[in-house]
Amino acid sequence: MPGKFKLDDIVHAAKDISKKAQYPLNSFDDLAKALGGEHAKVKYEGKDRKVAEARQIPAEFYPIESEEDLIAKLAHLRSLSGDKPEGVSTAQPPSKLPPEAGSPPNFPESMRPRKGVPGARGVKP
């Protein structure tokens, strides 16, 4: 069942990880090694979690380039599971725009959103 998450919890976990890790983290193995192994603990959402739980992070989310990149990717993972961030408006724009809005902008292909894994530097296909 989808739930809610606090972005602050993700930020705190990322800051704790960043104290021990050196970026980029190219794989789960790099992450686990930096944190003291799969049985080491990381505080997340007020609970101690085993590093081994991070195996659930898909391989395409690596490399993790920075603390900011880690925050973006963890938040995206939570969103993929249907969870919603607390305190963040996710309201959709109106489906029908008023006539005075005019035509939608014609962005070049290079500026259009891509599908893939989001990160601090954009979307990785």
Q: How high is the mean pLDDT in each 10-residue block of the chain (125 residues)?
A: 84 94 95 95 91 91 93 89 77 70 73 66 64
Burial 38-65 (b: 16+ CB within 10 A, else e): bebebebeeeeeebeebeebeeebbebb
Q: Which pLDDT does position 120 carry in this prediction?
A: 63
Q: Which pLDDT does position 41 carry in this prediction?
A: 93
